[in-house]
């Protein structure tokens, strides 16, 4: 039987599959079918030659949820909230993205004001009823929801994290008056304080639920029609997977579903190739993703924003994405400056050189013109160099540069955009980039990785043999995972240990139920406790590990010591004189699954170059040596300038850089000045 990972990106749909009996593997890369992404999933399986009835697990990363939100492409959803809080999701926290920009505008609200309803009810922060929710007022809103034909409704009442009785009553009334409507509650979506994040995340779930339910039902149907009888698992933003049924109920956990597979592959590299600290980067056709992996684990954030002031308040891998991919389009702004992206040619029509009707100059066109890209695209299809040159010539005429200067400028601008994204993640987490290696994934990633590393003073770049399908490979290396949280505010010195034990027991019981629903046996479950904690008076929290088992008063000093250390690691400072407080309690529940074999992607041949090709670097043509990546043996060394051609990606080694193939077939490049 085959275990299959599929990553649906903006331009390409990637597949990596490994055989559970003999460890053999297959890969595929096809163009994404934007009109119906499930077609691309099927095409990738057929291209790889996999029998549908021989697939045990299909692990699927998708950008459908993210694209729907960014494009606001979903049916109108309703939102019911406490009177006086109708505009919370639109007002936000009144932060400014650019302090001195008088023309900045907020993103379009996820749910427009005309679709938001209010009702006179009130809970206190301690969960005490201040004003009862009136039955008739609730029914009037429910009848209006039915009359307008909404398919989904979010309910977000103030302080419902402390007492969800009113939200449950509102839900029940809506379901009575408008049966069949998807109803989601903020107390179920995210039962913690800070209503902006809680309401926004609830709105995201309400908006996405019809879209993702339709997509997963459609995908399941077409797979079953072709004989698939295995288990469909969906990649989550927290670095795990869950069953399709759970994914339909919790679509807000899919925002970084696609890039999460790349982080999983970086973790795999960390465990098996000896790279302890990795900056994971992934360049696809549309976007550039970056995150940090330390000691085999991707860093988690609870402060992710879909857009400015649109928070997604669920635990997610700390991934930052920018519009810089192989399909990023070059253009000239009003001041006459060359700019790149974020708009992308995508898979349709694609870069000009694809010969599919695209006419705009893209990064892929620039790499082809500069000689860095194989015109046969690793024998997948022939690229049209003449069309690429024509597209870049039109851009060059606008800015008064030559064709080569324009193409080189396009690459440099895009690489600087990528470097700034790396800087944003690394510096925000108080890490030094010189302590990391940069792992480059994606079909377009290895062409640009060395230039990004040079800009950030990162000493080494690692390019795996399966870099072009890394996110799909990573999908097959992921475990089931659920993160469950509940609000509990108490000063550490005054907390009742009995309350901690009771709440952790409740959360862990819920976690076990979710894993059991995904088919995980008790002996394959691993539960880890954490708590969101802060110094009293702070407005942000730090995640702190909590001992498992029965807690006693003797654990309190141990918890305090761990918090001080965690705070200093994140922010560079701690103070044992300050009082500490719990804010919320969490459990991460992992269902262990079979991991892929330790693959050796190297070949058996020496490092001899099979040819040379003129490649343009910094205003000069160089005779770069060409290497067949799948045939290079471990220990082989090469000196830049060089181009290493893999099945699904192409690595560019600039002048003054050198590469060596390690025992697993990873190309490790040492960055020169």
Is the four-CA dihedral 366, 370, 373, 376 of positive or negative sign?
positive
pLDDT band at residue 296 using 50, 70 and 90 as cut-offs: confident
Flag whether pLDDT at 640 surpasses 90: no
Token reading at 590? 């992992």
List the single range of 250-264, 353-367, 375-389 with lowest mean pLDDT: 375-389
Asked if 284 and 12 count as a contact pair (C-beta separation under 8 A), the reply is yes
pLDDT band at residue 607 using 50, 70 and 90 as cut-offs: low
What's the chain's Rg over C-alpha atoms? 26
CA gap 631, 602 in Å, rounded: 6
Give the chain's domains with CATH numbers. 72-207 (3.40.50), 328-413 (no CATH), 480-591 (3.30.1490)
Continuous H helices in 257-402: 257-273, 363-369, 385-399
Flag whether pLDDT at 365 surpasses 70: yes
pLDDT band at residue 550 using 50, 70 and 90 as cut-offs: very high
CA gap 26, 158 in Å, rounded: 51
b/e string for 366-391 if b means 16 or more Cβ within 10 A?
Answer: bbbbbbbbbeebbeeeebbbebbbbb
Asked if 264 and 475 count as a contact pair (C-beta separation under 8 A), the reply is yes
CA gap 336, 401 in Å, rounded: 12
Flag whether pLDDT at 561 surpasses 90: yes
Flag whether pLDDT at 608 surpasses 70: no
Flag whether pLDDT at 184 surpasses 70: yes
The model carries a pTM of 0.87
Would you state the pLDDT for residue 162?
93
Helix (H) or strand (E) holding 413: helix 403-428
Average pLDDT over residues 251-276: 90
Residues 6+ apart with CB under 8 A from 381: 354
3-state class of 180 per DSSP? coil
CA gap 460, 450 in Å, rounded: 8
CA-based max dimension of the chain: 81
List the single range of 94-98, 440-444, 455-459 with lowest mean pLDDT: 94-98
Would you state the pLDDT for residue 552?
95
Residue where the block lists tokens 């022939």: 382
Average pLDDT over residues 7-15: 85
Strands 78-82 and 620-628: unpaired
Average pLDDT, the chain: 91
- CA distances in angstroms from 220 to 224, 226, 229, 370, listed in the order given: 6, 10, 10, 44
Cα atoms found within 13 Å of the Cα of residue 302, Cβ hemisphere only: 21
Give the CA-trace dihedral at 373, 67, 37, 63, to 10 degrees: 70
Residue where the block lists tokens 């909404």: 150
Q: Which of 550, 460, 464, 474 is nearest to 508 (CA)?
A: 550
Rounded to a whole number, what is the distance in angstroms from the first to the last CA of the chain? 48
Token reading at 33? 């079918």
DSSP string, 634-666: TT-EEESSEEEE-SS-EEEE-TT-EEEE-TTS-
Q: Specify the higher pLDDT residue, 548 or 97.
A: 548
3-state class of 263 per DSSP? helix
Strand partners, 236: none
């Amino acid at each position: 039987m085959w275990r299959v990972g599929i990553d649906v990106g903006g331009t390409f749909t990637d597949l990596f599959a490994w055989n559970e009996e003999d460890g053999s593997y297959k890969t595929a890369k096809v163009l994404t079918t934007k009109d119906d992404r499930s077609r691309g999933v099927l095409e990738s399986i057929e291209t790889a030659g996999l029998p549908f009835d021989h697939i045990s697990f299909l692990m699927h990363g998708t950008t459908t949820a993210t694209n729907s939100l960014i494009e606001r492409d979903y049916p109108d959803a309703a939102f019911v909230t406490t009177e006086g809080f109708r505009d919370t999701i639109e007002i936000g926290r009144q932060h400014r993205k650019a302090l001195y920009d008088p023309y900045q505008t907020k993103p379009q609200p996820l749910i427009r004001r005309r679709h938001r309803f209010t009702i006179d009810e009130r809970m206190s922060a301690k969960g005490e009823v201040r004003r009862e929710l009136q039955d008739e007022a609730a029914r009037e809103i429910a009848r209006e929801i039915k009359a307008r034909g909404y398919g989904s409704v979010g309910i977000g009442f103030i302080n419902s994290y402390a007492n969800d009785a009113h939200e449950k009553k509102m839900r029940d009334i809506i379901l009575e008056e408008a049966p069949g409507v998807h109803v989601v509650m903020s107390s179920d979506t995210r039962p913690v304080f800070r209503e902006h994040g809680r309401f926004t995340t609830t709105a995201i779930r309400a908006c996405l639920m019809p879209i993702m339910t339709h997509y997963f039902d459609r995908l399941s149907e077409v797979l079953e029609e072709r004989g698939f009888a295995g288990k469909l698992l969906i990649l989550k933003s927290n670095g795990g997977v869950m069953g399709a049924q759970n994914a339909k109920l919790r679509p807000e956990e899919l925002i970084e579903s696609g890039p999460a597979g790349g982080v999983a592959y970086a973790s795999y590299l960390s465990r098996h190739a000896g790279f302890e600290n990795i900056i994971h980067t992934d360049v696809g056709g549309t976007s550039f993703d970056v995150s940090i992996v330390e000691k085999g684990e991707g860093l988690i954030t609870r402060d992710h924003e879909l857009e400015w002031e649109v928070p997604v308040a669920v635990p997610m891998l700390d991934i930052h994405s920018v519009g810089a991919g192989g399909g990023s389009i070059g253009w000239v702004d009003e001041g006459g400056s060359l700019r790149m992206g974020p708009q992308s040619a995508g898979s349709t029509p694609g870069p000009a050189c694809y010969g599919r009707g695209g006419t705009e100059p893209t990064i892929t066109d620039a790499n082809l013109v500069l000689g860095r890209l194989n015109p046969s695209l690793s024998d997948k299809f022939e690229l049209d160099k003449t069309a690429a040159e024509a597209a870049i010539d039109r851009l060059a005429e606008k800015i008064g540069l030559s064709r080569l200067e324009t193409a080189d400028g396009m690459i440099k601008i895009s690489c600087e955009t990528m470097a700034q994204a790396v800087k944003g993640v690394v510096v925000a987490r108080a890490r030094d980039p010189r302590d990391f290696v940069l792992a480059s994934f994606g079909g377009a990633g290895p062409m640009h990785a060395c230039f990004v590393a040079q800009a950030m003073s990162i000493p080494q770049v690692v390019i795996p043999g399966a870099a072009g399908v890394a996110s799909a490979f990573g999908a097959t290396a992921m475990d089931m995972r659920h993160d469950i949280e509940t609000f509990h505010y108490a000063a550490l010195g005054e907390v009742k240990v009995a309350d901690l034990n009771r709440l952790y027991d409740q959360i862990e019981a819920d976690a076990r139920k979710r894993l059991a629903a995904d088919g995980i046996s008790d002996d394959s479950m691993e539960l880890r406790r954490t708590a969101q904690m802060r110094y009293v008076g702070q407005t942000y929290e730090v995640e702190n590990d909590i001992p498992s088992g029965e807690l006693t008063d003797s654990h309190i000093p141990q918890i305090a010591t761990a918090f001080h250390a965690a705070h200093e690691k994140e922010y560079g400072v701690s103070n044992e004189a300050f009082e500490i407080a719990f804010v919320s309690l969490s459990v991460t529940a992992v269902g262990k699954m079979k991991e892929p074999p330790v693959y050796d992607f190297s070949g058996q041949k020496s490092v001899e170059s099979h040819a040379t090709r003129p490649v343009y670097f910094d205003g000069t043509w160089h005779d770069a040596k060409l290497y067949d990546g799948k045939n290079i043996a471990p220990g082989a060394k090469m000196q830049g300038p060089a181009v290493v051609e893999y099945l699904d990606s192409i690595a560019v080694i600039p002048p003054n850089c050198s590469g060596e193939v390690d025992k697993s077939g990873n190309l490790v490049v040492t960055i020169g000045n």
